[in-house]
Amino acid sequence: MATLKDELTQRTEQFDHWATRRRYGPDGPNNRRLWVLACMDERLPVDEALGIRVDTPVGGGDAHCFRNAGGIVTEDAIRSAMLTCNFFGTREIVIVQHTQCGMLSANAKDLEAALRDKGVDPDNLTLDPTLPELKLDKGGFAKWIGMMDDVDVTCMKTVETFRNHPLIPKDVTVSGWVWEVETRRLRAPTQEAEARARTDVTSGQFGVKDKQPGRWS
Ligand SMILES: [Zn+2]
């Protein structure tokens, strides 16, 4: 059996290739040819949840990892997945969302109203100053925030969206998972009450009364 010293020696020696492998395009993929989309929440430990090492300081790394609020589809998530799947040799997409997500904790309309109170006009915004072409129609802002009614439903719809997106090659494997903050375990998204018991998975459990602006269901 190799000692850790042997492994570290090998990995550090491979570092030069690892550091420059983006130059090799599809011939220089990450170790698992994997792209991970995950919520940015610090209670979601991506490496532990998936049993991988996204990156290491001594060369090698299992995945490209994209994190945003909720771990949901956004145009930038699509952009990043498109690049890694089409040009950097990625063959698999894994999506991880989680129970008790902050994206369940308020209604998007209330967040929009709070921003208006701060003097922001969500109907007249340049979302990305470097890309003014990217615009939301009037009334689209609350949908854009992406608050969820149900994390399992959102996770399943996120998988579906990546599977069907024209920028994602059809032979890329796509799966979605829910990390249970309460039990520190990963499970498949489900609508079965028993599997969801003792975990917070709906906005109703956070006292949100109204359905979110239509995006996920
Ligand atoms: Zn979250």
DSSP per residue, 151-179: HHHHHHHHHHHHHH-TTS-TTSEEEEEEE
Do residues 37 and 99 lie in contact, with contact meaning Cβ atoms separated by under 8 Å?
no
Q: Where in the chain is the domain with CATH 3.40.1050.10?
A: 31-107+150-211
Six-digit token pair at 52?
Answer: 């991988």
Quote the Cα angle for 27-32-33, to 5°: 45
Compute the distance between CA of residue 14 and CA of residue 27 in angstroms, rounded to an integer.
15
* Residues annotated within a binding site for Zn(2+): 39, 41, 98, 101
Six-digit token pair at 196?
Answer: 């969801």
Give the distance (Å) from ligand 1 centre to CA of residue 103: 6
Give the distance (Å) from ligand 1 centre to CA of residue 178: 10
Report pLDDT for 217: 61
Give the distance (Å) from ligand 1 centre to CA of residue 98: 6
Six-digit token pair at 53?
Answer: 């090492």
192 Cβ contact partners less than 8 Å away, ≥ 6 residues apart:
none
Quote the radius of gyration of the chain (alpha carbons, Å). Answer: 19
* Residues annotated within a binding site: 39, 41, 98, 101
Compute the distance between CA of residue 101 and CA of residue 71 in angstroms, rounded to an integer.
10
Question: Longest C-alpha distance within the chain, in Å?
Answer: 63
The model's pTM:
0.92
Give the distance (Å) from ligand 1 centre to CA of residue 174: 20
- pLDDT tens, residue order, the chain (217 aa): 889 999 888 878 877 776 677 777 777 788 899 999 999 999 999 999 999 999 877 777 899 999 999 999 999 999 999 999 999 999 999 999 999 999 999 999 999 999 999 999 999 999 999 999 999 998 899 999 999 999 999 999 999 999 999 999 999 999 999 999 999 999 999 999 999 999 999 999 999 999 999 887 6
Say which CATH superfamily domain 31-107+150-211 falls into: Carbonic anhydrase (3.40.1050.10)
